[in-house]
Amino acid sequence: MAKLSKLPKLSRRGRTALASAVCVYVLLAFQLHSWRVHSGFYKGLTTELPSTARAGDTNLKRFQPPAAAAADAAATGSLASLRSQLALQFPYDASQPMPKRVWQTWKTAVDSPQLSPEFRRNSGLWMEAAELASYQYALVPDAHVLALLHNLYGGVPQVIQAFESLPLPILKADFFRYLILYARGGIYSDMDTFPLKALGSWPPAATGAAIQYRGRAASSGAASSSGAPEAGFVVGIEADPDRVDWSDWYARRIQFCQWTIQSKPGHPLLRELIVNITATTLASTHVRSSAQAPPFSIDEDHRADYLVNCRDKRRFDDEFPASQKKTAANVDGTDTMNWTGPGVFSDAVFNYLDNLIATNPDVAIINDNLRAHGGAGTHKFYRKVTEGLESAAVFVKEFFTLIEEPVAVDDVLVLPITSFSPGVNQMNAKEDDHAMAFVKHMFEGSWKGTKPGTAPDT
Ligand SMILES: *[C@@H]1O[C@H](CO)[C@@H](O)[C@H](O)[C@H]1NC(C)=O
Ligand SMILES: *[C@@H]1O[C@H](CO)[C@@H](O)[C@H](O)[C@H]1NC(C)=O
């Protein structure tokens, strides 16, 4: 960080950077007080790490931490669930506006000579877009990440313990974006991206009539077109390979991108993702011992849920060293996809949406793409989509296939592939100048080292 005596010599950009760094600390200061209160509260408890695959009938949207029960538990020295701790620490208030903040993170600070010209340019473009739209901008260098997390998550020490136990920088980089958005909200975007449009012009909601399904039509009468909730969590489609060999190219048939995400703080979808990553990390790695972190327990009846090694095919392979701890030396590409990356991220989105309609009678679903517009659009899946909603209360992957207009399920807004991935020349993506194109992604890999596979044109 620049010394004060240097201030007058700083360029305008330098001053903006310094100002935004100061902002981060001011923004965080109030948080200190609240976590001190809570971390005292959890002393003596064992943290229970629930499996997100076993949420059962729990309404994840309306989940309320049992505050009184937690106090009782504290007295008797029993369990406090990580889900409760996170919900208590960062309650979700959907009526609050989307925070006007942009977060980025990189190995070095914005004024470091080690920052490549491309990334300096990209970060400058985000900074300018932020300034124009009166958003705050912060680039968090590696050297500040841990201090920031201690500040934000001091009241949920297992989260910090999991972060420190992750064996590779790419896993930490993935986890960090979810953590910063869950705690503070705003836009997170990777360094190999830059904005294409004014930040204030991102869609605040989907347009169109709410879909009638299950009991909803009967109980709420006529379909309401004013049922579009304001977005609390915004994701873009990363991959939508409408072809039989899709799994040669991507981890999921519909993959959501996590290089750019927008969220209000405390969103329950992010909470579940953080619960999942914390639980699998603490069970699958040599855990860094931490003086502040209380002991934790996992659901022994479902051990396989917690072992990163034990997903899907590997689970049934007796030869596979399922209980082998993960280190930097034995993590592979599918591990990163399913542990912290687009695989588990996409699963978290689908699981949350399915939970929403399974446990709430009043969820607004807006998907204008399903209406026939001619051509080979989403409407060809209309039947499959409605059957999924009606008989099983699940969102089939095709619900999001070939969408060109934003889709909303409650306050989760899903943008088409063009929004954060324009100009890829496949999977129905449009060019950079399209009305729905908001962020350009350069696929420079950043920490990832390897580029995602690029499938031939579909
Ligand atoms: C984490 O999510 C994956 C789905 O991506 C699921 O298979 C696994 O059981 C979950 N584990 C825990 C501990 O929540
Ligand atoms: C990652 O998850 C996907 C989908 O659940 C699965 O098909 C794949 O086998 C998993 N990878 C590993 C290494 O378990």
Give residue-wise pLDDT tens across range 413-434: 999 999 999 999 888 899 999 9
Mean of the pLDDT values across residues 117-124? 95
The ligand with the least distance to the CA atom of 348 is 1
- Please give the order of strands across the beta sheet that includes 79-81: 79-81, 46-49, 296-298
For 30-89, strand residue ranges (E) read 46-49, 79-81
Residue nearest to atom 5 of ligand 2 (CA): 312
Residue nearest to atom 2 of ligand 2 (CA): 338
CB of 249 within 8 A of CB of 157?
Answer: no
| Ligand 1 atom, smallest distance to 298 CA | 13
- Please give the order of strands across the beta sheet that includes 136-141: 136-141, 101-106, 186-189, 255-263, 233-239, 412-415, 407-409, 365-366
The model carries a pTM of 0.88
Residue nearest to atom 14 of ligand 2 (CA): 311
| Ligand 2 atom, smallest distance to 337 CA | 1
Give the pLDDT score at 243: 83
| Residues with Cβ within 8 Å of residue 392, at least 6 apart in sequence | none
Please, which pLDDT band fits residue 373 given cuts at 50, 70 and 90?
low
Q: What is the pLDDT of residues 51-103, one digit of tens each?
A: 999 998 999 999 988 766 555 555 555 678 999 999 999 999 999 999 999 99
Mean of the pLDDT values across residues 156-164? 95
Could you tell me if the CB of 53 is within 6 A of ligand 1?
yes
Chain centre to alpha carbon of residue 254? 15
> Ligand 2 center to residue 264 CA distance, Å?
30
SS (H, E, C) 382-427: HHHHHHHHHHHCCCCHHHHCCCCCCEEECCEEEECHHHHCCCCCCC
| Ligand 1 atom, smallest distance to 299 CA | 13
> Ligand 2 center to residue 113 CA distance, Å?
40
> Ligand 2 center to residue 347 CA distance, Å?
11
Could you tell me if the CB of 53 is within 6 A of ligand 2?
no
Q: Give the up-direction half-sphere exposure of residue 25: CA atoms within 13 A in the CB hemisphere.
A: 8
> Ligand 1 center to residue 2 CA distance, Å?
43
| Ligand 2 atom, smallest distance to 247 CA | 7
Helices (H) and strands (E) in the chain, counts: 13, 13
> Ligand 1 center to residue 349 CA distance, Å?
12
Query: What separation in angstroms does the CA of 79 have from each of 48, 50, 63, 159?
Result: 6, 11, 17, 16
Is 404 a residue whose pLDDT tops 80? Answer: yes
Could you tell me if the CB of 280 is within 6 A of ligand 1?
yes
Give the pLDDT score at 449: 38
Q: Choose the most confident range, by mean pLDDT, from 159-163, 288-292, 364-368, 371-375.
A: 159-163
Is 435 a residue whose pLDDT tops 60? Answer: yes
Is 315 a residue whose pLDDT tops 80? Answer: no
In this structure, the chain runs to a length of 458
Please, which pLDDT band fits residue 279 given cuts at 50, 70 and 90?
very high
Q: What is the pLDDT of residues 137-155, one digit of tens each?
A: 999 999 999 999 999 999 8
Query: What separation in angstroms does the CA of 359 have from each of 92, 121, 272, 276, 285?
Result: 18, 46, 16, 20, 34
What's phi and psi for 327, nearest 5 deg?
-130, 175
Give the pLDDT score at 17: 56
Please, which pLDDT band fits residue 446 given cuts at 50, 70 and 90?
very low
User: What is the C-alpha separation between 80 and 47, in angstroms, rounded?
Assistant: 5
Is 165 a residue whose pLDDT tops 60? Answer: yes
Could you tell me if the CB of 344 is within 6 A of ligand 1?
yes
Residue nearest to atom 12 of ligand 1 (CA): 51
Pocket test for ligand 2, best of 255, 306, 312 (most atoms within 8 A of CB): 312
User: What is the C-alpha separation between 10 and 3, in angstroms, rounded?
Assistant: 10
> Ligand 1 center to residue 320 CA distance, Å?
19
| Ligand 2 atom, smallest distance to 251 CA | 3
Is 222 a residue whose pLDDT tops 80? Answer: no
Give the pLDDT score at 375: 58
Looking at residue 298, its amino acid is I
Least confident window among 121-135, 208-222, 283-297: 208-222
Chain centre to alpha carbon of residue 126? 20
Pocket test for ligand 1, best of 280, 334, 340 (most atoms within 8 A of CB): 280
| Ligand 1 atom, smallest distance to 283 CA | 13
Written as six digits, the tokens of 97 are 């506006």
Could you tell me if the CB of 306 is within 6 A of ligand 1?
yes
> Ligand 1 center to residue 9 CA distance, Å?
51
User: What is the C-alpha separation between 335 and 254, in angstroms, rounded?
Assistant: 18
> Ligand 2 center to residue 313 CA distance, Å?
7
Mean of the pLDDT values across residues 235-261? 90
Written as six digits, the tokens of 171 are 């896993």
**Cα angle for residues 132, 135, 138 (degrees, 5° grid):** 115
For 114-213, strand residue ranges (E) read 136-141, 186-189, 193-195
Written as six digits, the tokens of 27 are 């923004």
Could you tell me if the CB of 305 is within 6 A of ligand 1?
yes
Q: Give the count of beta carbons closer than 10 Å to the beta carbon of residue 286.
A: 10
Judged by DSSP in three states, 222 sits in coil
Give the pLDDT score at 372: 66
Could you tell me if the CB of 313 is within 6 A of ligand 2?
yes
Q: What percent of the chain has pLDDT over 70?
A: 79
User: What is the C-alpha separation between 330 and 323, in angstroms, rounded?
Assistant: 13
Residue nearest to atom 13 of ligand 1 (CA): 51
Closest by Cα among 27, 26, 23, 13 to 123: 13
**Cα angle for residues 160, 72, 57 (degrees, 5° grid):** 70
Mean pLDDT of the chain: 84
Give the pLDDT score at 441: 95
CA dihedral angle for residue 30, residue 36, residue 39, residue 43, rounded to 10 degrees: -170
